[in-house]
Structure 1
Amino acid sequence: MDFTKDFNPTFPPPEPYQLPTCHPKELVPIESSESEELEAAGRPDLPSPPRKSLLDSWFTLSTHLVPCANPRTTPDIPLPPLPKWSSNRDEFKASVKKTAETILDVKEKQWRGELDHLPRGRKPMWNCVNRYVRRPRAGESDPANGLTLFCAHANGFPKEIWEPALQRLIETHEAQAKYAISEVWLWEARNHGDAALVNRDQLDGIFDWRDNTRDILNFLWNYLPPSASADPLPTHLPRLPHAEAERRLAQGLQGRNIVYVAHSFGACSTVRAAISHPVLFKHIVLVDAMILPAPYAEVASTTSTRDYVLGAVGRRDGWSSREEALQQFSAIPFFAAWDPAVLQIYVECGLHADANGQLKLKMPGVQEAVCFAENYAPFECFELLSGLDERVELRWLVAGKLTA
């Protein structure tokens, strides 16, 4: 049978579907030297005391600060008025909705270009990173020859959220793998965890995920030490010479074999960095990456985004003890689904004691909401993904159920 002559389909083939464009923008260039504002502000101390990590049997933990990229993509936008607590449920819900609508309105104005006339923010801020370096062991090769893992968290999580998964990985790895993990770096975005405590007086009422991308790039080419080493590092990582940064931008991170592991918001930020500067990336493992096609052409927050923002603004933020917090989180279906070790580390490292001894979220709910308000970074990343250098190896981990 000649299908070209005899095949007569009931319906004509549909026209190829063209996804709406979100008109991706270039990343704002990063200044090539530390700003005068940064020097004038001084060097902050770490906000949390040293702790024994879950990886302590294999790795030595140290925590460090690095300056965020300057300038920011967004202007200085003050935080919205926070919701006023009321025992009247309807009054409190109305107050939460008002704060959430303010956050979403500002973000949509940014997407429409209505904030472009304002100067970009330049307030000095810091990223916080945990470094886990392999403890020397008899008979093992030079640690500089092993893998480096770089892990980026999802929205709302502190950097330490990775420790239970890394503990399981290393326990399995010790028995099976023929290569060494020499060093692990856990990234923390500027408004999360300990970084949020350091920057608490500088955080804005708007956040652009592209700035997390730019902060990651700033760390990789200006602050990441050339190779893994058991030698201790200062709390404030020194900026590398300009010539080294230029070499990395041209030739990549030649002294390291890095595998990037990134979750949700962190995955979107990392892939956007790889699209922009593929020479710095070879292997990326994406966990439930927030990389999505734009559902429509007009500028508007999606229904799910609005729900997430409302939920974050209305979060409880105050407990008398970690035991009370753990009990309360365990009763919430979202947290109850977590591995117990992950929930435990969230309570240990995601909360801090305020001046009155009450436990509070390191990342306030309003900052989680500001981060949730971003729609366009996932859309941009999806639209640009086909342009990622094919030499960058991607591995995707996604939920078995779309609702998971």
Structure 2
Amino acid sequence: MEGSASLNLSLPKTLSTRRCPNGTRKLLPLQDGVADLSNLPSIPPSSRVFSDQAFIRTTHLVPAALPRSSPDVTLPTVPPPSLDRGQRNAAALEVANALVLARHKQWNGEFSGPKSTKPLWVCLNRYVRRDVLANGESKGVTLLLMPANGYPKESWEPVISHLTNALRQAESQGLVDEIWAWEAVNQGDAALVNQRNLSSMFDCQDNARDMLHFMLSYMPEHPSVPALPTHLARLPDVTVRYRRSHGFQRRTVVGVGHSLGGCSLARGAVDVPSLFSSIILVEPAIVPYPRSGPVVDERAFPYVVNAVKRESKWPSRKDARKALRASPFFQTWDPLAFENYVEHALCENPDPTVGGVKLKTPPVQEALGFADVLTMYETWDLLDELDERVELRFVVPGKQRRREDGIREMTVWRRPKNSSNVVIPSAGHLIVQETPRELAHEIHSYLQRKYGSAVPRL
């Protein structure tokens, strides 16, 4: 695979100090969220087979951490598609302002009532090499992939396919034994599983807690464990305590997070760095607190509005594909990533009065993700606390306009020691969707450099 990324961002002459005026919040303690084990949810069916036959893909559910960071609240509804453009824009602006107001009430502790304890589930895809299962041996790394806000776990599959192909061409298949692709409780298939209980404010801190909960209490001991059940079994408390202090005994985990997924990954790693050998942050949603203006500022608010008014229902998948392809938003996407989105971000609409297909992730849930800027600011402040033994690698786009205040440079060098970065010139913010081949090349190169000498060729 040929690489196109050869640039990087230089270390600023002066490193910025913390900016959050009220300090940073601590993550709530982790508790299991399932009491009734006799009524476990099922996973929405999928008939599509993963393209790389050297890997087996299975899908699993694990309980989210409870309590959540907010109480149950009444969320506003998105404007109906029957409105004309002007009415729809006005209604979307009203809903977006209501969501931002609710965010401020959450951050200021103005919501009454206890924090939500409704059971929720995280959904993950596991991709494991067939020969690892057959031989019962694991010497390569485990990747944990966390997607951007609004994207399903399968959005990583074009990158995975290019990565496994690159490993094969380099005769270094043994470098990666297993891959886990993450789906937050309000995204993709997880949103379908949890649709009746999505009544609290989605908080990126909770996404980080859910990730830690999975890694500490549910991730199997080693990649060669075969035939995992749909609902992963909880590990003994002694294992959980050991992992929190010392990490995995039979795994080397590399976290890879894009946008909101990168923010969640970094926030969790600050609290429990023992779980990670290294972290690759792909254009992460980690930015400093604004020096002036509202907390949900001009960078974030348009994303909230656009998510609220996003088209989410179509008469058929064919109609959805045609409409999405015509949208300027998708014009820069890699063709494989676009088809992957049409296949995995949509599902059949269960409402018999409507029919057709719809987005799995409800627009109001995507909007909530964009409105949660406080966790982005806090993670930026905390990044310099991440244990220096965890190597940091940033992947940033070259297409985005360089900010005059040097925010990108300050972010990638927020923790200077044991950190590096690379620029993909042809990419915008949606690196996973726009340049999956180039991103796979960068991940492969990084893994080869850091772990290649310790892994035998197959």
TM above 0.5, one fold? yes
Q: Deviations over 1:73-131 (max 9, x none)?
A: 1111122133134443222222111211111110012222323x531110000000001
Q: Identify the match of residue 136 of structure 1 among 131, 134, 137.
A: 131
Query: Which amino acid in structure 2 is aligned with residue 51 of structure 1?
Result: R
Query: Which amino acid in structure 1 is aligned with residue 55 of structure 2?
Result: F
Q: Deviations over 1:21-54 (max 9, x none)?
A: 24211101112xx34x632782001122343012
- Give the root-mean-square deviation of aligned CA atoms: 2.1
Query: Which amino acid in structure 1 is aligned with residue 48 of structure 2?
Result: R
Q: Identify the match of residue 352 of structure 1 among 308, 325, 347.
A: 347
> Which residue does the alignment assign to 2:26?
26
1:155 aligns with 2:154: no
Give the match's secondary structure for 2:221: coil
Paired residue total = 384
Gaps of 5+ in 2: 1-13, 402-427, 429-458
> Which residue does the alignment assign to 2:373?
375
1:232 aligns with 2:231: no
The separation in 2 between residues aligned to 1:238 and 1:16, in whole angstroms, is: 44
Does the CA contact (< 8 Å) of 2:310 and 2:363 recur in 1? yes
Q: Identify the match of residue 216 of structure 1 among 194, 199, 211.
A: 211
Q: Identify the match of residue 78 of structure 2 among 76, 82, 87.
A: 82
Q: Identify the match of residue 166 of structure 1 among 157, 160, 173.
A: 160
Q: Identify the match of residue 360 of structure 2 among 362, 365, 376.
A: 362
Query: Which amino acid in structure 2 is aligned with residue 26 of structure 1?
Result: K
* Greater alpha carbon shift after TM alignment, 265-274 vs 42-51: 42-51
Q: Structure 1 residue 372: deviation in Å?
A: 0.8
Query: Which amino acid in structure 2 is aligned with residue 30 of structure 1?
Result: L
> Which residue does the alignment assign to 1:291?
286
Query: Which amino acid in structure 1 is aligned with residue 54 of structure 2?
Result: W
Does the CA contact (< 8 Å) of 2:300 and 2:371 recur in 1? yes
Gaps of 5+ in 1: 1-14
Distance 1:257 1:177, change over 3 A: farther
> Which residue does the alignment assign to 1:327?
322
Give the match's secondary structure for 1:136: helix
The separation in 1 between residues aligned to 2:357 and 2:84, in whole angstroms, is: 24
The separation in 2 between residues aligned to 1:99 and 1:135, in whole angstroms, is: 48
Does the CA contact (< 8 Å) of 2:314 and 2:320 recur in 1? yes
> Which residue does the alignment assign to 2:44?
47
The separation in 1 between residues aligned to 2:83 and 2:77, in whole angstroms, is: 19
Q: Deviations over 1:231-279 (max 9, x none)?
A: 1111000000111111111110121011111100000000111101111
Does the CA contact (< 8 Å) of 1:143 and 1:182 recur in 2? no
* Greater alpha carbon shift after TM alignment, 204-213 vs 216-225: 204-213
The separation in 1 between residues aligned to 2:38 and 2:65, in whole angstroms, is: 15
Does the CA contact (< 8 Å) of 2:132 and 2:224 recur in 1? no
Q: Identify the match of residue 194 of structure 2 among 189, 192, 199.
A: 199
Query: Which amino acid in structure 2 is aligned with residue 27 of structure 1?
Result: L
The separation in 2 between residues aligned to 1:247 and 1:230, in whole angstroms, is: 19
* Greater alpha carbon shift after TM alignment, 383-392 vs 331-340: 331-340
Does the CA contact (< 8 Å) of 1:271 and 1:381 recur in 2? yes
Does the CA contact (< 8 Å) of 1:48 and 1:194 recur in 2? no
Give the match's secondary structure for 2:333: coil
Q: Percent of counterpart pairs with the same letter?
A: 40
